[in-house]
Amino acid sequence: MLINGRYELEDLPIGRGGMGEVYLGRDIKLDRAIAVKFIRFPDGSYDQDYIRRFVRESRITARLEHPGVPAVYDVGTHENRPFLVMQRIRGISVADLVAEQGPLPVGWATAIAAQVCAVLAVAHEASLVHRDLKPSNLMLEPDGGVKVLDFGLAVAPDQPEFSRITVTGQPLGTPAYMAPEQIQAALTGPATDLYALGCTLHEMLTGERLFTGSTSYDVMSKQVSHPPAPVRGVRAEVPVEMEQLLLDLLEKKPEDRPADAYVVYRRLTSFVSELRPLPGVLSPPGDPSPTRMYATVLSRVFADARVGRTSIVPVPPARKPKPVPSPPSPPVDRGQVRRARSEARRLAGKARYAQAADVLADAVAATPHAAADSDAVGLRLDLADALFEGGDYRRAAPVYQALLADLADTGDEDLLLRCRLQEATCHALTGNTSQALRQLDDLLRDQRRIIGDDDPRTIDLRRQIGLLQLGTGESAAARRTLRELWRDLSELHGPSHPLVREISDLLAVVRP
């Protein structure tokens, strides 16, 4: 099979799953081995919006440069099926490794998990969440390196809906590795990946999945409500500190898990030892390995550094200089602003959000900060939106926050409300859920006063707050929020309205 006149694929896929199927092949233009993954539509029918989001997230993923992430070469569609062209990886999946060899040596289990943490650290800094981390998405190469597969392929829904799981039976992830917040509210963040890593590490150490059941719903129910069994009850030689790390990773509330992948990495590395050969999996020790040669040198960077002691000489306080009046700001170059915004819109229209943000950021740097100037404010708003659409939520949040001060005196209440919502959403998507909830609660109070309870924006905001409370383990608060929303929607639209049914589905899974 030849697609796009360039990629020659083998006749049969090497694997199928809920997200699609993978073919091995060759890029005949560059004469290199490749892997091509065709993505399935969630409901089996063509969906242009799904393709748009798939291309967007693929481009975000392609910017993730790390030795533990396969390179993304191309993205496109063939016969209305979206596909991704990736670097071909040779090795064995951790799922197959555990199936063949049973529980892994403690050193190797932690070495694999630590390498995954290194990948998650750089991904989470870029506002990327894997969402489907599991042993079958980890590939152990012959030199001992680990590749994390399928980053960004589980396209996030624009509006999380638990009803997709209860109605279609298609969970937004793999139940055996899904965090409670992912199950209850389709909410994902860095802590979601850490929970999945805990499930994976448990499986590597014990040879068994953390939770099993006769149905997906049974497994998901256990993820939400059952405490994890201590791993030392199955394998006594696991260090006590590692068991505690596992229990920390598997906390039900995301804010109770370790702060980030860096913290987990540091706690894991003390157990990475005795990495003996794994027969039939790793290259023999005598074989030359350019990758290990490279890594050996890197591991010695700063290894022999010694921190010298220096004497500290008190410095007398400097005299306070007399204030110098600031020169008047030069006028805004409106032609430059218009050109930058026009070029950014053109790039964003092609889903090239990173380039659009770069164009806008350069223009913002060259434009005087004028809070009362609509062109200057519009330029910064475009920058915030480009960063948000490109998935760079960490950079977008402070831009939205700075805009709020400039917009406060404009009287544009709608724009103020939107920027506040966008900033809070950025915090929610980067795992700062407590801050996001505080901001959303404040926003709801003002939104009710300004645009009223029956406005669709207010209704959707109440729904988002309920979902976020549900995802963060605040079951009682979520139940109150969603129950009040269900009552008001029932009075407004009647019991058969889709929104009423959706809230009913959510209430059905919230524990009293």
Q: Looking at the annotation, which residues are catalytic?
A: 132
Contact between 364 and 355 under an 8 Å Cβ cutoff? The reply is no
Number of continuous H segments (helices) and E segments (strands) in the chain: 19, 10
> Phi/psi of residue 148, each to 5°?
-95, 115
Contact 26, 7 (CB under 8 A): yes
| Burial class of residue 38 in the structure, from the number of CB atoms within 10 Å of its CB (0-12 exposed, 13-18 middle, 19+ buried) | buried
Kind and range of the H or E run holding 82: strand 81-87
Give residues with Cβ within 8 angstroms of 104, minimum separation 6.
Answer: 97, 98, 112, 204, 205
SS3 for 405?
A: helix
Cβ–Cβ < 8 Å for 255, 179: no
- The region that residue 173 occupies, defined by phi over 0 for left and psi between -120 and 50 for alpha, beta otherwise, is left
For residue 23, give the DSSP letter: E
Cβ atoms of 60 and 152 closer than 8 Å: yes
Task: For residues 422 and 383, give the distance between their C-alpha atoms in angstroms, rounded to a whole number.
Answer: 13
Q: How many CB atoms lie within 10 A of CB 124?
A: 22
Sign (positive or negative) of CA dihedral 131, 134, 140, 145: positive
- Beta strands of 113-175 (E only): which ranges? 138-140, 146-148
| Cβ 191 vs Cβ 431: under 8 Å | yes
Hey, what's the torsion of the CAs at 100, 105, 108, 112, to 10 degrees? 60
DSSP state of 29: T
Measured CA to CA, the distance from residue 152 to residue 154 in angstroms comes to 6
Q: Note whether 118 and 66 are within 8 A (CB).
A: yes
